[in-house]
Amino acid sequence: MRREHRTGLQSLPTGSARSARSAFLLALFLVLLLALLVVPAAVPSGTASAAVVSGAADGDGWFRKATARAVRAHERARARVDRLREADARPPKIEAAEERRMAIRAGLWDLLWAVERNVGDPVAVDPSGRAGHCPVPTRSHAQQHQRHQRSPKKKTRTMQRTKPRTLKTPQDLKKPQTVQVPQATQVPKTPQTPHRPWTAPTRGYWLSAGFAAQGSRWAHRHTGQDFAVGAGTPVYAVGPGTVRATTCGDGFGNQVVVRHPDGYFTQYAHLSHIDVRKGGHVSAGQRIGLSGATGNVTGPHLHFEVRITPYMGSAVPPLPWLRRKDVQVIH
């Protein structure tokens, strides 16, 4: 599906000249970005998506810089919405700020979708992983694994010793007997599922390559946070959401992309095993796979990324994003 966002440019607030100017500038910006699609059209489908995002199509990195500006504009708009909500601003003001944020996100989404689909990014062309024969579990296996994680462990009953009964003597029968009135039986309450807090994507890790790190291993900058763990370490969804993609075959190897209620996406890459399927619902702390060394890697680790859209080119710093969810990652 091309668009999953709800708001386009037409939903921007038009009640003031300032809003109209912002909408015009945003539309002009998106037109310039879409003009770049003429250049990537000649790129072979097997070319890595990182080459397009890093500016290889135009040589000077203009495309990459333009998408980076759009990401920064979205994060400023998101921060403004958060400030207005914390200040208990009037609803129309909050709605106008949120519409502007959604418009920026919609333009970035459409642009990256077109580029990534053109270069053959699996998240854009094969989000279920079926065409690439990715190691995705069958539906029955995924449901069974999910029930196994949710079902509580049965407690074993222990037999308690009872005191031996003693026969009553005639003297005991003469003593006044106290009658115990039975208490009204209470209907047991249905236990509610506790709300799981957001969590780190794995355990027993140490942080290796961080966000925006530079080096010969990346086309431009590192777009996520690497968690150094051994192969086969469980990988968990950091929060509740819906599985957007389970793919393989590119530099990220076996990967899972999850969409969360706040609209952001998290990516878990280089997995050796995938436990979930596209369209499935996950909870915070639910195991979604095992770490590995698939794709373009130098050793086993988990590549964790936070994105505004499902596609490469919209990443934001993951550790500050996790801190906003009250997740403290140990350095």
Q: Each residue of 254-284: pLDDT tens digit?
A: 999 999 999 999 999 999 999 999 999 999 9
317 pLDDT tier (thresholds 50, 70, 90) = very high
Residue 171 lies inside a defined structural domain of this protein:
no
Q: Quick one: 210 and 112 in the same domain? A: no
CA separation for the pair 272, 259 (Å, rounded): 21
Which of 72, 95, 120 delimits the end of a domain? 120
59 pLDDT tier (thresholds 50, 70, 90) = very low
Residue 185 lies inside a defined structural domain of this protein:
no
Alpha helix segments (H runs only) across the chain: 17-35, 49-53, 62-86, 91-119, 122-125, 139-150, 170-174, 318-324
- DSSP letters, 77-92, are HHHHHHHHHHTT--HH
Q: Quick one: 106 and 212 in the same domain? A: no
Question: Nearest 5°: CA angle at 99, between 96 and 105?
Answer: 150
Residue 184 lies inside a defined structural domain of this protein:
no
Contact (CB, 8 A) for 147 and 39: no
Domain that holds residue 301: 206-324
Which residues lie below 8 Å from residue 206, measured CB to CB, with a gap of 6+? 227, 228
Domain count, the chain: 2
- Average pLDDT taken over every residue of the chain: 78
Tokens standing for 162?
């009872």
Residue 289 lies inside a defined structural domain of this protein:
yes
Checking if the pLDDT of 51 tops 70, the result is no
Q: Quick one: 212 and 104 in the same domain? A: no
Q: How much is the pLDDT for 252?
A: 93
Report pLDDT digits (tens) over 100-148: 999 999 999 999 999 999 989 999 999 999 988 888 776 655 555 555 5
Residue 116 lies inside a defined structural domain of this protein:
yes
Tokens standing for 90?
């009037």
Residue 258 lies inside a defined structural domain of this protein:
yes
Which of 78, 94, 120 delimits the end of a domain? 120
Domain of 268: which CATH number? 2.70.70.10
CA separation for the pair 325, 85 (Å, rounded): 16
13 pLDDT tier (thresholds 50, 70, 90) = very low
Which of 120, 145, 174 delimits the end of a domain? 120
Residue 329 lies inside a defined structural domain of this protein:
no
Residue 330 lies inside a defined structural domain of this protein:
no
Q: Quick one: 115 and 210 in the same domain? A: no
